[in-house]
Each structure stands twice: as C-alpha cells, then as structure tokens.
Amino acid sequence: ETITVQELANRMAERGGEVIKSLMKMGVMATINQIIDADTAELVAQEFGHKVRRVAESDVELGMLGTDDKVEDLRPRCPVVTVMGHVDHGKTSLLDAIRQADVASGEAGGITQHIGAYQIEVPSGDKITFIDTPGHEAFTEMRARGANVTDIVILVVAADDGIMAQTVEAIRHARAAKVPVIVAVNKIDKPDADPQRVRTELLQHEIVVEDMGGDVQAIDVSALTKQGLDTLLEAIALQAEVLELKANPDRAATGVVIEAKVERGRGSVATVLVQRGTVRTGDVFVAGAEWGRVRALVNDRGEPSESAGPSEPIEVLGLQGTPTAGDDFVVVENESRAREIADYRQRLLREKSATAGARGTVEQMLSAIQSGEADELPLVIKTDVHGSLEAIRATLEKLETSVVKPRILHSAVGGISESDVSLAGASGGIIVGFNVRANPQAREMARRDGMEIRYYSIIYDLIDDVKALLTGMLAPEL
C-alpha cells in the first residue's frame, strides 16, 4: 500500500511543496514523484488536519483510481464556498442575493433549482460554487464523515447585532477545518449598523481583519440592498487565487454527495459536488454504500446536462438506493465492480450498526498516539468558572510531552452541548468537562458517535489524565 507524494498532495488538495516540507519535518526526504508508505502518508494527512479514513481492502483499488493525476494534468478549478454565521444574521438572504448576481443567467431565468449547491459566474468571468445549506451543522456533519468540500468559509455577521454565540461556533469550525474565512459584515443598510464594532469584536476571537493589520478580508454588505455584493464576490475570487485550487478534469469523476432524497417519478436523486474528473451520463458509480448508472444529469438551472467537472454541483439520477450527505461519489469501470463495492460497504454498515455505538474515534486516536502516528490530541474543554478554565489552559499549554501535543479546539465556561460534541467529533478529539455535565442531547450524540466525554472535579486529575492520553497510556473509558 503506497502512494506518491504528488498523489497525496492532490488528495488533500495541498501543494506538493507543502507536503514535502511536512515530510522533511518528520525526517523523511522525498521528491514529488517519490513513493511513500501508507503509514507515512497518514501521518502527513493528519499533519494537514485531514481526517484519515482507514480504507478496507475492497476500497483501496477504488481510491487508487486516482493515482495517475500528474501536475501537468491539473487545471484551475473554482472555489467551493460555505456560508456560516449566527441565526438571523442573513445567511439565507445573502445566498439568495448572490444567486441573483449570477451574470451567466441572462434572461434564461437563472438559478432556480435548489439542489443543495449552485454555481455562479461573476463579471470577471470567474466562477464560484456555493453550498446552499447555510450554517455549520451541515459543514460539521460532512467533515465528521471525512468529506472536506469547502475551500472558503463566508462568516456572516450582522452589523447591528455583532458577534453572537453561533458566530463564535462558526469561527471554531472553520478553524478546526483549517479553512480560510472571509467576513461578510451584513445589514449595513440598517440605521443602527456598526460595522467597525464587528471588526473590533472579531479581534477577541483571533480574527484580525485587513484594515486592522491582519490577513482576513472583511467586506461590508447588505443582502437587502445588494450593496457590497460585488466586492464580496471579488474577495472570494482573490482568496481563491491565493489558494491555487486545482484538479484534473480528464479522469473518472470523484466527488461528494451534498444532498440525497427520493422523489416521486424520479427515484433516488443525489446532488454531487464533483471534486476531480468529469462525470457523464452513462457512467457507473458508487455513492457511499449505494451504486448506480447515471441516467441523467441536471444542473442548478434545472437543465439537463451531459457532464459536470471539478467544483461543479450536479444532480445525478439513476441511483439504486439513497446515499447520505457526505458520502463519497466515485465513478468505477463497470457494474459488477460497483455492485461489489456497494455490497461490501452495505455489509460493513450492517456490522457497524450491530456493534452499536461506533466507539471509533477515541480508540483510533489512542492507537494512533500509541503507534506514534498522531502528534496532537484535539480537546474541547468546558468548565464551571473562568478561573479554572484559565488554569487548565495554562497548564495544558505548558505540557512538554515529546511528540504529542494537546490541541485545544475550543474552551469555554458552560455545560457540554451538542455543538461541543460535534466539534470534537469532526476532529477525532476528546471532550473534557470540569465541574460541568453534558446535556442529554449531547450525551446521546456522544454515545451514538462513540465520542468520549471525561468529567473531572480536580484539576490535577484532569491534567494527569491528559498527560496519560498524550503518551497513549490511558485506556478509553467508554
């Protein structure tokens, strides 16, 4: 089981040079075309913050279909953007306004279909794909399933309201996923709008906007009057340029299921965001534990389409069953292969549900630490008072274990909520409560996802346990 440095970089959508640098840090000197083993590749992937899915043998070949992407085959692709922010700050309104800003629509009616994502063309001719489900729930859920579809997060903050609880959550999720943020300071048409206050408040959350000397773009907009919309779209194009997004369009398609449902008269329908290659009618594919043959492709304008390439959202008809959002989508060579993989995955799913409570993440993390494959332990820390929070943070930050370091995804005063569980889950981390409990929903979610919540009332016990975890010496408590 091996992979070239280039292919690893492609799969992570990172630059080859960055991967080589990361390998060097681990003491591995490699060139772009060098073949490295799976263990090393996994380490690198974790270094870049990617969730590593251990693929079963039947899957390996499926993934290996992509090993032939060469640098010279890569073409620029447009960015995929997710809009996040506090409720009522204007996420939906902004997505609607942007949809109408599409210059390619002309008189043809424009983007009318809600298929879970849409692509627009801006005046400069650049294209941008937007995920049409605002909020961080979908984003986190997808990431927890191993699907990283978002290149850029637009953080919507209402200028008359400022930073609120879900704004902070969104910042955390974007940060955990290592996705760059552009701030859209919305509702600036309102008389009580104070966009400058938003910028100042962002400082407390370590977001330093450009006009304060930082590197985060913040654009004043109004989804209502459409003021600033063009500037926002330009900011996205600029950020995308920096990211140098690329994919090989000339290969069998792979992508992610954004949305899937059963529709009367159409059967199972899935919206797929193509990430690499080009999907065409007639292609045979696997989507999660389902398979199918593309009977028809429908774009975000409701028009039939012959094909869809990288960063393009497309509705796929011809599924045998209904996959789940976040599932992978991979075109394979023939029907028997597709059946074989889907059957295998169905069997895995059945086995998994039989051994209820997946208990995957923590054990995986611990064994990764034990075998020296992980170099950080993601933590979410909740406490009863500020003082203990500060003390715990300060002590953890000073912990000098040789390789594995604690990475605090989030720490705050308050009970453990579902949002804490999903944040820790998406990064394969652990939740620590100090003199606080989890609410029933959070407990249920943790149980379902095999997430570990540890409770403490003595700081030393907490620190000792984290130390033990960091050295891989503590068994999970599940």
Q: Using CB under 6 A as the criterion, which residues of the chain lie in contact with ligand GDP when the complex forms?
A: 85, 87-93, 134, 186-187, 189-190, 222-224
* Closer residue to ligand GDP in complex, CB, 167/248: 167
Q: Shortest Cβ distance from residue 191 to ligand GDP (Å)? A: 9
CA distance 478 to 470: 18
Which residue in 211, 132, 123 sits closest to 220, CA to CA?
Answer: 211
248 annotated ligand binder = no
Helices 57-64 & 335-354 angle (0-180, nearest 10):
140
Residue nearest ligand GDP, Cβ-based: 90
CA distance 308 to 50: 26
CA distance 308 to 354: 38
361 annotated ligand binder = no
Q: Shortest Cβ distance from residue 266 to ligand GDP (Å)? A: 28
Give strand pairing partners of 392: none
Q: Shortest Cβ distance from residue 100 to ligand GDP (Å)? A: 13
Instruction: At 185, list the tokens.
Output: 């300071």
92 annotated ligand binder = yes
Q: Which class for 474: exposed (0-12), middle (13-18), buried (19 or more C-beta within 10 A)? A: middle
Q: Shortest Cβ distance from residue 332 to ligand GDP (Å)? A: 38
* Closer residue to ligand GDP in complex, CB, 80/221: 221
Q: Shortest Cβ distance from residue 150 to ligand GDP (Å)? A: 17
Q: What is the largest CA-CA distance in the chain?
A: 67
* Closer residue to ligand GDP in complex, CB, 164/463: 164
Q: Shortest Cβ distance from residue 216 to ligand GDP (Å)? A: 20
* Closer residue to ligand GDP in complex, CB, 187/246: 187
CA distance 50 to 28: 19
Q: Shortest Cβ distance from residue 441 to ligand GDP (Å)? A: 21
Give strand pairing partners of 209: 216
CA distance 125 to 35: 38
Instruction: At 272, list the tokens.
Output: 């797929």
CA distance 334 to 375: 40
* Closer residue to ligand GDP in complex, CB, 189/234: 189
CA distance 88 to 167: 11
Question: What DSSP character marks residue 211?
Answer: G
Is residue 381 within 8 A of residue 395, CB to CB? The reply is no
Q: Strand (E) positions, 113-215?
A: 117-121, 127-131, 152-158, 181-186
* Closer residue to ligand GDP in complex, CB, 85/292: 85
132 annotated ligand binder = yes
90 annotated ligand binder = yes
133 annotated ligand binder = yes
Helices 38-47 & 16-25 angle (0-180, nearest 10):
100
3-class secondary-structure state, position 443: helix
* Closer residue to ligand GDP in complex, CB, 189/340: 189
136 annotated ligand binder = yes
278 annotated ligand binder = no
86 annotated ligand binder = yes
Q: Shortest Cβ distance from residue 136 to ligand GDP (Å)? A: 12
318 annotated ligand binder = no
* Closer residue to ligand GDP in complex, CB, 61/88: 88
Binding site as annotated, residues for GTP: 85-92, 132-136, 186-189
Binding site as annotated, residues: 85-92, 132-136, 186-189
